[in-house]
Amino acid sequence: MGRLFGTDGVRGIANRDLTPELAFQLGRAGAHTLVRKKGKAAGQGRLLVGRDTRVSGGMLEAALVAGITSTGVQAELLGVVPTPGVAYLVRKLKADAGVMISASHNPVADNGIKFFDAQGYKLHDELEAEIESYLNGERSKEIQRPVGLEVGRVLDRTTDKEEYVKHLATTIGRRFAGATVVLDCAFGATYRMAPQVFTELGAKVVTLHAEDDGSRINVRCGSTDPSALQEEVVRQGAQIGFAYDGDGDRVIAVDEKGEVVDGDQILGICGFQLLADGRLPHKTIAVTVYSNLGLIEAFQAAGGRVVVTENGDRQVLSAMLERGLVLGGEQSGHIIFLEHNSTGDGILTSLQLMEAFLQADQPVSELKKKIRKFPQILQNVPVARKEEWVHNRRINEVIDRYRQQLGEKGRIFVRASGTEPLIRVMAEGPDEQEIRRIVGAIAGVIAEELE
């Protein structure tokens, strides 16, 4: 069996790949590794559990909680809450760990389980590997099964979610009176909290897809499809719109003209403001190799510095912690404001962007012009054997040939998705027609070799 944990926890089609049996085992192994092995006696450890709105969420929550409590660890249920809410509340409520049941932006049928440590950080690879080592074989017998009063209890902590809402409101220094905002909540975990916090800050809020309906989570809505949001922002004459993903850890914005503002542009606008205010440590932000070259050039031209990491929010966070940075993120809209939360936070990011453009006293459409984006084409190639591409001679030959052709005027990145059976092919350069041709050629070879 290959490694169970991917780039963002354990994911798969619920009840087929991610079964209740597996969720139970993950609950036991996670509670043992993150709580009991840390020295907490049976009946004393605490693990927070959150979920998004997916239909399978309740089923997996029940199995996961059974596994947690079977080790003598207390399971404290937050109910439907954004992923960054779990990360924040672990620290706020002084729990030993947290776990979120969600597949983020993935389709309805998928679900996932990811753990947070006591500081609200996603687990590093070694700790995930340790949890995985307890799932089967002799090591699974090391996990205790206390009885009587030492069995873990289940507590309802849904009202404590308000602490997260209060925290979000404290991260900015102004109110939004007079502003109209459209929020697309993707039928997901932000459906209640995002409208609540914007309303409490004085904005006129128009909502789309803001219902607890896991049967439609991410379906033609949210950050993966902001087309409805684009139309509504223009129709309402709103200053801005925000589209969240299913678990609320990322956001895509729409400016007052109905044009998309992606994560690179959000990062740039917020970074420029922090830089101007003298609130950006080392004058530096962290981005990934997939961030647009235009962002890097623009930020450097403004007197800032850019650290480029490998793909993934954990890589960005690692660079931020290592260098003492407070701002970093991905083009997908997964932005980390480390002063305020330990992971990407869609609602938090939308509040920060809102404050940035109001403080600049310019519309978002003008602010984003500071970032001249290079044409960047990304194609997802469905494959049957995504792990094999690295060692495939023909695939690597075609990638090398086009890299040499582009030279220093552009770049090509190819990687396997950590959560889906896809190979992602991205190319960037000054000539869009040439870039499209290159991506199409590489994708075609990958499809032929790995079908």
Beta strands in 81-132 (DSSP E): 97-101, 110-116
d(CA 222, CA 242): 8
Q: Is the dihedral of CA 69, 215, 193, 121 positive or negative?
A: positive
Q: Is the dihedral of CA 370, 374, 379, 380 positive or negative?
A: negative
Q: Annotated catalytic residue: which of 56, 70, 102, 104?
A: 104
For residue 123, what is the DSSP state?
P
Angle at 410 (CA atoms; ends 407, 411), nearest 5 degrees: 90
For residue 338 the two structure tokens come to 């480390």
Residue 48 near residue 89 (C-beta atoms within 8 A): yes
d(CA 43, CA 35): 11
Q: In what order do the strands lie in the sheet with 10-13?
A: 10-13, 110-116, 97-101, 46-51, 74-80, 154-156
End-to-end CA distance of the chain: 21
Q: Which of 162, 8, 172, 212 is nearest to 100 (CA)?
A: 8
Instruction: Tell me the CB-side half-sphere exposure of residue 45, using CA atoms within 13 A.
Output: 29
Which H or E run includes 318? helix 313-323
Distance of CA 387 to the CA centre of its chain: 23
Q: Is 316 exposed, middle or buried (0-12, 13-18, 19+ CB in 10 A)?
A: buried
d(CA 275, CA 277): 5
Annotation says 102 is catalytic: no
Beta strands in 122-269 (DSSP E): 154-156, 180-184, 204-208, 240-244, 251-254, 260-261
d(CA 281, CA 267): 15
Distance of CA 4 to the CA centre of its chain: 19
The label of the residue with tokens 């310019």 reads: 362
Distance of CA 399 to the CA centre of its chain: 29
Q: Which residues are catalytic?
A: 104
